Amino acid sequence: MRPRNLWPLVALAALLIFNMLFTTGFARIELRDGRLFGTLVDIFQNGAPVMLLAVGMTLVIALGGIDLSVGSVMALSGAIAALLMTEQGQSVPVAIAIALGVALGVGALNGALVTYAGIQPIIVTLVMLVVGRGLAQTLTHDQKISFEIPAFEFIGNGTVLGLPFPALLVAVVALCVGLLLRKTSTGLYIEAMGGNPQAARLCGLRVHVIRILAFMACALCAGLAGLIAAADIKEADVANAGLYLELDAILAVVLGGTSLTGGRANLVGSLIGAIFIQTLTIMLQMRGVITEHTLIIKAIVALAVCYMQTPAFERLARRLRPAEGSA
Amino acid sequence: MGQNGAGKSTLIKILTGVYPRDGGTITFEGRDFRPVSPGDAQRKGMSTIYQELNLIPTLTVAENLFLGRAPRRWFGIDWRAMRRKAEEILATFDLKVEVDQPLGTMSAAVQQLVAIARAVQTEARLIIMDEPTSSLDSHETEVLLGIIGRLKARGLGIIFVTHFLDQVYQVSDRITVLRNGAHVGTYEASQLSRLELVSQMLGKVPEELEPALHGAPESQGPAVVAAQGLSRRGVEPFDLTVHAGEVVGFAGLLGSGRTEAARLIFGADHPSTGTVNGSLPRSPRQAIGQGMAFLPEDRKADGIIPDMSVRENIALVVQRKLGFTLSRAQQEKIAQEFVTKLGIKTPSVEQPVRLLSGGNQQKVILARWLAYEPRFLILDEPTRGIDVGAKGEIERVIHQLSQKGLAVLFISAALEEVLRISHRVAIFRDRKKVGELTRTTLPEVMKVIAGEEKPSPEATKSAGEERNAP
């Protein structure tokens, strides 16, 4: 049987090997002041928000839904934490707790509107994409909020045993979600609902509750990603934080081989997808490609990797293989 | 008329050019008729109204009426003329609706009538209606049947396909019966008794004595499920009690309400009135909590999770008992046990269930429920579309389980199957439970289905006593 994550891994490996050979300075890793530096470390450091978003998005997509609001939730949670710590003078734990609480609230609202009002996920979360950032901009009067609070900055740029803290945070969250998916009934129920919602209901699953919890988990990941993004640059930039990242997250999930029609959650694949996207972004930056071109190149590569997972490509590959043999 | 798979729809599709014919001729208005497509048939005067309406719900009533042949002005569509004409046309059907409103907002009956109006408007001389009343309530049905009568008076020919016996006799002059893809006979409606019609459809002579019900099981336990006054749009209120160790069959023609009634008991559809075991059924989850299980009629749409493995499909319900943490080994053990016990043919328990044959998929769903060890099992058409071997195995399992005290509700279109398996039969006709029989034979059941004879007083009485029993 073909390994589950073959093509995403092949694509990632190819990208890494290309860079090791042709992008100068890509493979260099240094240990300075008890901390690792280098491009490979940056991939995990800078890619942490997208990886977190991809973890949450995997749950929602496996259910047959989608969440477009994650980028705005990032902006919202960063802004709320920053406001609480600066203007309200709240402690770091309180600020973090309230910011994540608001994110959970947005997720619950998303889930409730989808499951009880019966509005399509893409519409509900599109509305929340607009409202979320609008709310963040209202709260901050559309100003960037800078802060100098080392305890909070640690979330974004701290290190533990030489490794970037955001990467460790991703690892912990991914491990928790992974265990939830594989070692508890949650994963079974989510995949059943994505695979056949009618049958899942007749099997007595609490479809409403499960759907709301999935949206909440996704929003919680987004809230956490928002804290990392704000802590990393020491300011809450509501206009740019998380902008377009919902697209990167969805792309990461799709690259990882989770079908948008739902029914299967491939968490490892989504993480590989997110790393792939970040590697590509950093590589293009290092090679001096201008931003506009970066977007186009990312789009083409993403399309290619998605195509590699289609039955059409498998048929093509099967047809080419014997031809190579006879040549 | 004809049972499922009799060939009604296929015949209609050949008539209207959807399918090419293999042989034979069609004569329409005295001429040889060779439509190449439904559009072609329509232009030549033969219109079809399908079960699933081929109208566009997001367009307005008027637009649907005139789609493709709207009145034109020197540029574009003459909207005012279109609205006026639409109102005129619908007025001839006694239908007053806002023709500017989207068709999708109208009731099923109005949509049906708009479809008919459109067909008449295209100068149809023959209208074929494939189960036009299946989604209508009794009042809407009356309106529709009235209009069919008026169309008949206008000189149109009508082919009316339905499962409702009353309606057939109300509107038809002649009745043609199909069975298993063959023409059984065409009769003057006034010459054909209901019982004869039913026996022609089923292919059974009423005089056949076997099989017969066995009566009460050897050891009948206490009542497991007691439904009272359950109803919903499309099902008249009914009572039902099933005891431990008893198999109750639901008999009736397609569309008689047997599936709908079972879904109400399980909470799969929300009943508008009535109780099951003392409370209104709210959800399948609640029913499962009370020890009920439900094997649905449409195994693809409501049963299997196609991409999941056999193991996961079987574990889905029992996982509730196993708890929050999931042990793959435990699931494997349960799945393996039922693969062996029910003889499910699969290379491994990790095989995606969509790759299994229909009969084996059905066994997987049965395993899913049996693993949960229910007290009451509803089986809706468990043997449909599966081969004889699997059928026999499923029947054997049902028999064994009922002997061990499981209460079973068995629904099947195959009457002899219902009688062979059940201890008691509840009979449905035209969305109504019309009786219960404990000691009976096939001809008796057929008579009740046909509505020719009330169930014998003795049988009704015994059913009543059971209901009153504690």
Contact B319 A185 (CB under 8 A): yes
Strands B407-411 and B247-251: parallel
Per-domain boundaries in chain A:
7-310
Would you place residue B343 in the very low, low, confident or very high pLDDT band (cuts 50, 70, 90)? confident
- Of A200, A189, A82, whose CA–CA distance to A141 is shortest? A82
The per-residue pLDDT for range B115-132, each reduced to its tens digit, is 888 887 777 889 998 888
Coil, strand, or helix at residue A141? Answer: coil
Strands B376-380 and B247-251: unpaired
Task: Work out the angle between the directed axes of helices A291-308 and A6-22 (0-180°, nearest 10).
Answer: 140
**Whose structure tokens read 């038809």?**
B172
**Whose structure tokens read 């309180």?**
A94
Contact A264 B285 (CB under 8 A): no
Would you place residue B198 in the very low, low, confident or very high pLDDT band (cuts 50, 70, 90)? confident
How far, in Å, are B231, B254, B379 from residue B281 at the CA level?
A: 11, 24, 18
Q: Choose, out of A179, A189, A196, A202, the residue to mutate when testing the contact with B (most B CBs < 10 Å).
A: A202
How many A×B Cβ pairs under 8 Å?
Answer: 77
**Distance in Å from the first CA to the final CA of chain A:** 27
Task: Give the span between the Cα atoms of A238 and A197, in whole angstroms.
Answer: 37
Task: Give the span between the Cα atoms of A58 and B251, in whole angstroms.
Answer: 46
Q: Which residues are CB-neighbours of A98 under 8 A, at least 6 positions away?
A: A80, A81, A84, A90
When pLDDT is averaged across residues B169-184 and rounded to a whole number, the result is 88
pTM for the whole thing?
Answer: 0.75
- Distance, C-alpha A136 to centroid of its chain: 20
The percent of residues in chain B predicted with pLDDT above 90, rounded, is 28
Residues of A in contact with B368 (CB under 8 A): 203
The per-residue pLDDT for range B134-153, each reduced to its tens digit, is 767 677 778 888 888 888 88
Beta bridge partners of B212: B441
Would you place residue B461 in the very low, low, confident or very high pLDDT band (cuts 50, 70, 90)? very low
Out of B296, B306, B317, the one facing A204 most closely (by C-beta) is B317
Identify the closest residue of chain B to A193 by CA–CA distance: B305
CA atoms within 13 A on the CB side of B214: 14
Element (H, E) at A64: none
Q: Are B127 and B155 in contact (CB under 8 A)?
A: no
When pLDDT is averaged across residues B385-406 and rounded to a whole number, the result is 82
Pick A71 or B355 by higher pLDDT: A71
- For A7-310, CATH gives 1.10.3470.10
Q: Is the pLDDT of residue B460 over 50?
A: no
Q: What is the pLDDT of residue A131?
A: 95
Q: How far apart are the CA of B101 and the nearest CA of chain A, in angstroms?
A: 22
Dig out the tokens for B232 from the structure: 């919903």
Contact B284 A204 (CB under 8 A): yes
Q: What is the pLDDT of residue B210?
A: 47
Q: What is the pLDDT of residue A201?
A: 94
Element (H, E) at B208: none
Residues of chain A with pLDDT under 50: 1, 324-327
Element (H, E) at A281: helix A267-286
Dig out the tokens for A51 from the structure: 């990886």
Q: Is the pLDDT of residue B208 over 60?
A: no
Coil, strand, or helix at residue B158? Answer: strand
Q: Choose, out of B292, B307, B368, B370, the residue to mutate when testing the contact with A (most A CBs < 10 Å).
A: B307
- Distance, C-alpha A143 to centroid of its chain: 26
Report the 10 Å Cβ neighbour count for B218: 8
- Of A276, A292, A274, A294, whose CA–CA distance to A284 is shortest? A294
Q: Per DSSP, which regions of A14-161 are E strands?
A: 29-32, 35-38, 145-146, 159-160
Q: Is the pLDDT of residue B176 over 90?
A: yes
- Residue type for position B170: Q
Q: What is the pLDDT of residue B206?
A: 56
Q: Is the pLDDT of residue B469 over 70?
A: no
